[in-house]
Amino acid sequence: MFYIKVGKRKRNIREDNVYTRCPECGREHAVDLWEVFEAGGDLYTAGVYCEECTAKRAAEKKPS
C-alpha cells in the first residue's frame, strides 16, 4: 500500500483522490492510477487525457 503524506498525516491513495491535468486542455481530473500502471505508464511521465479529450482523440483516429 502506498500513501501520501500531508504534513504529518497519512492519506491513503484511493481511486478518487488522485488528480492530474489533461495534457490537451489542462483541465484537472481524477485519474485511476491502476489504469495508468496497467497501460504501462508511470507516475512521472504519464499524461492522462480527460474523458472529453480521450473521446475527441478517439473520434479523430476514426477514418472519415
Give the footprint of Zn ion on this chain (CB under 5 A). Answer: 22, 24-25, 50, 53
**Radius of gyration from C-alpha coordinates of the chain:** 14
The CB-of-54 to Zn ion minimum distance in angstroms stands at 8
Q: What is the DSSP letter of 48?
A: -
Nearest-angstrom CA–CA distance, 64 and 61: 9
As given in the structure block, the three cell numbers for residue 56 are: 475527441
The CB-of-46 to Zn ion minimum distance in angstroms stands at 14
Q: With respect to Zn ion, which residue has the nearer C-beta, 24 or 36?
A: 24
The CB-of-31 to Zn ion minimum distance in angstroms stands at 12
